[in-house]
Amino acid sequence: MQWEQVKDWLSAARSIAVLTGAGISAESGIPTFRGEGGLWRNFRAEDLATPQAFARDPLLVWEWYAWRRELIARAEPNPGHLALAALEPRIPEFHLITQNVDGLHDRAGSRAILKIHGDLWDLRCTRCQRQWTDRSVPLVELPPRCECGSIARPGVVWFGEGLPPCVWEQARRAASGCQLLLVVGTSAVVYPAAGLAPLAKSAGAKVVEVNVGDTPLSDLADVTLRGPASEILPVVCG
């Protein structure tokens, strides 16, 4: 019954926003941010993804990001990513807000993407601030350098940094102006992204959560669908 209700809402809505988190990419084999192990089992992600860590040891930080890039390069968009990409052209006003930096939504074919935490495949010069995309794996050199000769950093948002103001404002407008907000695979504990669902709800939107387990958002959502996004989204978005 809940699945049919969500399908009806998606069919009727002219304005839809989607918020995705690490859970949807975990189904493509990408470890969640706090669950990464292997080569980096003796490091906490929170100790590497900071401006302070980069200033202290840029090579160490880049070795970790190079490892992550190699993991992601081997992954493929799953049916959840593909279902959202197929939904986009059918909705007059559609925004995909993602906390993920892996680029799998792009590879699935999504276009209206708001990357509030940046993009792992982007590099930004620490001196002249030039930003460019480099999908080469492995990178030619570590740390990579800008054409001006200065070290580049990953084009992602680190702990202690603010979100890109323009992108975040677009995400806020999308959430506050949509008729339906679909929240997929996010723990709903990382702010300010976790505040988008209450914002949408207070503006009158229906909120639908897709997740394998309970989150702080579950009680707020109008409907919660339990299970993998790769199984649920192709059904409700189809």
pLDDT (0 to 100) of residue 24: 96
The DSSP 8-state label assigned to residue 221 in this structure reads: -
pLDDT (0 to 100) of residue 43: 72
Element of type H or E holding 211:
strand 206-211
How many residues can be counted in the chain? 238
pLDDT (0 to 100) of residue 47: 78
pLDDT digits (tens, 9 = 90+) for 97-113: 999 999 999 999 999 99
pLDDT (0 to 100) of residue 3: 82
* Alpha-helix runs per DSSP H in the chain: 2-12, 22-26, 45-48, 51-56, 58-73, 79-87, 104-108, 165-177, 196-202, 229-236
Question: Rg of the chain's alpha carbons, rounded to an integer?
Answer: 18
| Structural domains of the chain, ranges and CATH numbers in brackets | 2-30+77-117+162-236 (3.40.50.1220), 31-74+120-156 (3.30.1600.10)
Largest distance between two CA atoms of the chain:
59
> Does 95 qualify as catalytic in the annotation?
no
pLDDT digits (tens, 9 = 90+) for 60-90: 999 999 999 999 999 999 999 999 999 999 9
* pTM listed for this prediction: 0.93
pLDDT (0 to 100) of residue 33: 57
Query: Which one of the listed residues 81, 95, 105, 117 is annotated catalytic?
Result: 117
pLDDT under 70 in the chain at which residues? 1, 32-42
pLDDT (0 to 100) of residue 238: 82
